[in-house]
Amino acid sequence: MNSTVVITTLIYLAITAGLGYLGYTQTKSAKDYLLAGSKVHPVIMAISYGSTFISTAAIVGFGGAAAVFGMGVLWLTVLNIFLGIFIAFVVFGKRTRSMGHKLKAHTFPEFLARRYESKFLQVAAASVIFIAMPLYAGAVMLGGVSFLTVALGLSQNMALLIIVLIVGAYVMMGGMKGVMYTDAFQGGIMVLGMVILLWFTYSALGGIVPAHEQLTAIADKVPAAMIAKGHRGWTAMPELMSPLWWTLISTVVLGVGIGVLAQPQLVVRFMTVKSDRELNRGVVIGGVFIMLMTGVAFVVGALSNVFFLNATGKIAIAAAGAPDNVIPLFIKENMPEWYTAVFMITLLAAAMSTMSSQFHTMGSAIGHDIMDKGMGMKAKDPVRVMRLAMVVAILISTLIAYLLPSFFKDGATIIVNGTSLFFGLCAGSFLAIYALGLFWKGVSKAGAHAGFISGLVVSMIILFFVFEKVSKPLGICNAFFGVPSLGTGTPLKDIDPLVFAVPVSLLFTVVVSFFSKKPDAEHLATCFSK
């Protein structure tokens, strides 16, 4: 381990710890702990939103996916900016902030519960978060761990322990203020790291135009197995309706691009600012941030094939062994020693900024939504309860991180699959009732219940029995029916559950709302008052 890396890391950790402590000193109440007092500066909110959204999953996981799929992954960047920033901030964000403040909601499950006057939704939504988010958190942990193991030679267990202890400490103490202060600092580091990475990549490959010309020219190096699945080169989309096309479009692009709209840890950020003006100011900042983070990672991931082919005679996935190792190995082999330190800090920042929000969201779900509001377990010190709940969430997430490598085998990208699964599950369960609840007064409590349950059930059925990336390693489908997926031999095995769950959830929400008891007029007046 070289001294540059050590010194840079220590400085970074010291500043992070200081910002976490600053959040701790400013946290006086449960509202401070959950929503940072709803007085967050728009720049801090936008960068926190972006750095929470963009984890090591985007840089390491989806960068590795770009090494496999090519430039087609950039469609996710387009969708992320349009839906994840513009639509999320301008359309959903303003309604969420206004309605959330009027209903005195402090978390996403509580927002749904108060919109529909349903304690069931608060407990059920919080339970989905508590059960499913550790999978996403585990994937993000592995993103940070993968670079530490490749670049520094640390064992996976040691790297995982270091990251968990640091993030857990400042999240538990500083609450949302600690999370957002550190997120903003970490987001700045991420921007710097990715700009330098893009510059070095194009420099190593002779410039922008030559780099992309070389990537186009190596289409004949695509392995036969990938060609059979629809791969047509790294600057072309996979063959229409092929297995790779379905995976790219439904799981990578739609799964994450649409799923972002119903992410609990992101939605709650709209309620941390005091007016719509702050949300408007955050659009440009958030858009540029997402473009730099995802765009650079995807471009570099695809272009790494040229670098590895020139250096080793192998394409990226063959040289690295697995998609999640592509970006770390590319940095190690191509970049100057000092940039190894910079990029390590970039990845640590990306991992820690997302993990902090995940831990905070899971702790809030257990302590606030389930124990306090759902079970009526009133505590003299609710913040302390949420901190203890966070410890439980951290332990579970860490265990999942240990188990994920044995779950996703055969070269599967663990980080992408773990992230996409959670994003898709949130979209299937929450998106319809969340979106309709913001804009349609006619959604009934029964309709919301039907939409939530139907979306969740369809998501789980597809995951367990049809979507082969999950059903095969899970083994339940094979135990019941003797096949890894009921969709084997058809495109269904490659289509993300979100494609089925969201329309079903939307249909059930609308139909049941038309034939059930209408919402209380006085309550609606409160929700939609200007």
Q: With left for phi above 0 and alpha for psi between -120 and 50, is residue 233 left, alpha or beta?
A: left
- pLDDT tens by residue, the chain, 530 residues: 466 666 777 777 777 777 777 766 766 666 666 655 556 666 777 777 776 666 666 677 778 888 888 888 888 788 878 777 788 877 888 888 889 889 888 889 999 999 999 999 999 999 998 888 887 787 777 766 765 665 566 777 777 787 777 777 666 665 666 677 777 777 788 888 888 888 988 988 889 999 999 999 888 888 888 888 888 888 888 888 888 888 888 777 776 777 778 888 778 877 777 767 777 777 778 788 888 888 888 899 899 999 898 888 888 888 888 777 888 888 878 777 777 777 777 777 777 777 777 787 888 888 878 887 777 666 666 777 777 888 888 888 888 877 766 655 544 455 666 666 777 888 899 999 999 999 999 999 999 999 999 999 999 999 889 988 778 877 888 889 889 889 888 888 888 888 899 999 999 999 999 999 998 899 999 998 87
**Angstrom distance (rounded) from CA 114 to CA 523:** 9
**Angstrom distance (rounded) from CA 294 to CA 77:** 6
Spell out the residues 6+ positions from residue 344 whose beta carbon is closer than 8 angstroms to its own: 5, 8, 9, 147, 148, 151, 152
| HSE (side-chain half, CA atoms, 13 Å) at 466 | 17
Spell out the residues 6+ positions from residue 504 whose beta carbon is closer than 8 angstroms to its own: 454, 455, 458
**Angstrom distance (rounded) from CA 182 to CA 190:** 12
Only one residue has tokens 């410039």, namely 207
Nearest CA among 284, 282, 266 for reference residue 274: 282
Sorted by where each begins, the domain ranges of the chain are 3-32+40-97+135-234+273-367+380-404
Spell out the residues 6+ positions from residue 221 whose beta carbon is closer than 8 angstroms to its own: 305, 309, 315
CATH for 3-32+40-97+135-234+273-367+380-404? 1.20.1730.10
**Angstrom distance (rounded) from CA 381 to CA 49:** 28
Residue 183 contacts residue 51 (beta carbons within 8 Å): yes
**Angstrom distance (rounded) from CA 177 to CA 196:** 29
Give the pLDDT confidence score for residue 412 in this predicted structure: 46
Structure tokens at 39: 């007085």
Structure tokens at 245: 């096309």
Give the pLDDT confidence score for residue 209 in this predicted structure: 92
Taking the whole predicted model, whether its pTM rises above 0.85 is answered as no
Structure tokens at 307: 């670098």
Spell out the residues 6+ positions from residue 157 whose beta carbon is closer than 8 angstroms to its own: 402
Helix/strand/coil (H/E/C) assignment for every residue in 432-445: HHHHHHHHCCCCCH
Backbone angles phi, psi at 380, to 5 degrees: -65, -30
**Angstrom distance (rounded) from CA 84 to CA 88:** 5
Spell out the residues 6+ positions from residue 257 whose beta carbon is closer than 8 angstroms to its own: 75, 76, 79, 80, 83, 84
Give Rg (Cα) of the chain: 22
- Distances in Å between the Cα of 352 and the Cα atoms of 355, 390, 482 are 5, 15, 41
Spell out the residues 6+ positions from residue 266 whose beta carbon is closer than 8 angstroms to its own: 49, 52, 53, 88, 260
Give the pLDDT confidence score for residue 405 in this predicted structure: 66
Spell out the residues 6+ positions from residue 90 whose beta carbon is closer than 8 angstroms to its own: 279, 280, 283
First to last CA, the chain: 58
Pinpoint the alpha helices (H) of 410-475.
Answer: 414-426, 432-439, 445-465, 468-474
Pinpoint the alpha helices (H) of 205-274.
Answer: 208-217, 224-228, 243-246, 255-259, 264-267
**Angstrom distance (rounded) from CA 228 to CA 230:** 6
